[in-house]
């Protein structure tokens, strides 16, 4: 992380990412996020825990490390650009129960 | 303490109280006296449960607390500020510790909150909407 990055930028990047990750089925928690801001570009490395299942049977669908990239538009708002896996295979786990389904 | 830090501390106090941790702060450190709690069932055809007042909320939580240990995790916190108030949106998951070796996802959903900065310097919830997406069926008692 750039030591000169204002704390407000870090929060703005994270909040823009949280707004962008709404899922149609289930919800996603982003944990242990590390934000790196470089001018109008930012990356966020997080642990993504995707929750799903039906309304009476909640499950963890996946747990993996992800790398999100965002850019700041002309109005100063951060926008999500892309997500790529940021996996160490040993850190990735998918519920066997969900995998069978 | 910054407003953001104060609001994050409020969310942590709520989780600690809900999980009934030793030395957890009282509900009166989480809710204003006239707070309104609205809980939406995963079943959208059911009307939400509405509780008004910190005392009523605390009594309802005590009456419906599960017998097993729980752990609330709150993440993805987004805060919009007004003067001395804030609108807070977050995502939560509750883990249920059914016994010493079995932990399952008990429920998950979203919190939509209105928080206010009180005279004693603590942020408290004046409104909380709990939007449950999924909740595990209660484990039958043998």
For chain B, the 3-state helix, strand and coil shares in percent, each to the nearest 5, are: 20, 50, 30
Mean pLDDT by 10 residues, chain B (142 residues): 94 97 95 98 90 98 94 96 93 95 95 97 97 84 47
**Partner B contacted by A26 (CB < 8 A):** yes
Residue of B77, B79, B105 lying closest to A58 (CB–CB): B105
Every domain of chain B and the residues it spans: 3-135
- The distance of B35 to chain A (nearest Cα, Å) reads 26
Domains of chain A in start order, with CATH, are 7-100 (3.10.450.50)
A60-85 pLDDT tens trace: 999 999 999 999 999 999 999 999 88
Instruction: Give the integer Cα–Cα distance in Å for B33 and B65.
Output: 21
Task: Please tell me which residue of chain B has the smallest CA distance to A8.
Answer: B4
**Partner B contacted by A60 (CB < 8 A):** yes
The CATH fold assigned to B3-135 is: Nuclear Transport Factor 2; Chain: A, (3.10.450)
**Partner B contacted by A98 (CB < 8 A):** no
B72 close to B15: Cβ distance less than 8 angstroms: yes
- The distance of A14 to chain B (nearest Cα, Å) reads 8
- pLDDT band of residue A4 (cuts 50, 70, 90) is low
Taking alpha carbons only, the member of B136, B59, B75 closest to residue B111 is: B75
The model carries a pTM of 0.88
């Amino acid at each position: 992380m750039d030591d000169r990055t204002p704390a407000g930028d870090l929060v703005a990047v994270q909040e823009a990412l949280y707004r962008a990750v709404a899922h149609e089925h289930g919800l996603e928690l982003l944990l242990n996020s590390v934000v790196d801001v470089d001018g109008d570009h930012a990356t966020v490395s997080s642990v993504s825990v995707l929750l799903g299942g039906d309304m009476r049977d909640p499950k963890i669908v996946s747990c993996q490390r992800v790398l999100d990239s965002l850019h700041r538009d002309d109005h100063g708002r951060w926008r999500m650009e892309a997500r790529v896996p940021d996996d160490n295979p040993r850190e990735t786990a998918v519920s066997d129960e969900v995998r069978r389904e | 303490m910054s407003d953001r830090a104060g609001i994050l501390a409020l969310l942590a106090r709520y989780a600690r109280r809900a999980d009934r941790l030793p030395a957890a702060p009282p509900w009166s450190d989480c809710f204003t006296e006239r707070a309104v709690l609205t809980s939406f069932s995963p079943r959208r055809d059911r009307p939400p449960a509405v509780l008004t007042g910190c005392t009523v909320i605390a009594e309802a939580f005590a009456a419906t607390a599960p017998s097993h240990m729980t752990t609330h995790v709150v993440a993805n916190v987004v805060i919009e500020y007004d003067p001395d108030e804030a609108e807070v949106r977050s995502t939560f998951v509750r883990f249920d510790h059914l016994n010493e070796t079995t932990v399952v996802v008990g429920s998950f959903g979203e919190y939509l909150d209105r928080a206010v900065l009180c005279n004693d310097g603590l942020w408290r919830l004046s409104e909380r909407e709990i939007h449950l997406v999924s909740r595990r069926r209660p484990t039958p008692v043998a």
